[in-house]
Amino acid sequence: MAKAVGIATSSVVKIWHDHGLGLYWWRSFKLPNDKGFAEKLHDVVGLYVSPPAHAIVLSGAR
């Protein structure tokens, strides 16, 4: 984002912080130990890629 608007990364972080925003996955991603994770991931991504007619996707993420 910083590169796209031509400002320093630290400025973007400060602006986001001032508005209660933040990066949750920055240069890393941790896979859970849940044995059913792959199946759950497939189901969730499937809703976005090919949603059923009249579907709505709600997320509990902040």
DSSP codes of every residue in 8-24: -HHHHHHHHHHTT---S
pTM for the complete prediction? 0.39
- What is the pLDDT at residue 11? 92
Q: Are 38 and 28 in contact (CB under 8 A)?
A: no
Select from 38, 37, 39, 57 the least CA-distant residue to 47.
Answer: 57
- Asked whether the predicted pLDDT for residue 7 surpasses 90, the reply is yes
Q: Which of 19-23, 28-32, 43-47, 57-61 reaches the highest mean pLDDT?
A: 43-47
Distance from C-alpha of 57 to C-alpha of 48, rounded to nearest angstrom: 8
Query: Once rounded to an integer, what is the mean pLDDT over residues 13-33?
Result: 78
The encoded tokens of residue 51 equal 């949603």
Query: Once rounded to an integer, what is the mean pLDDT over residues 18-47?
Result: 81
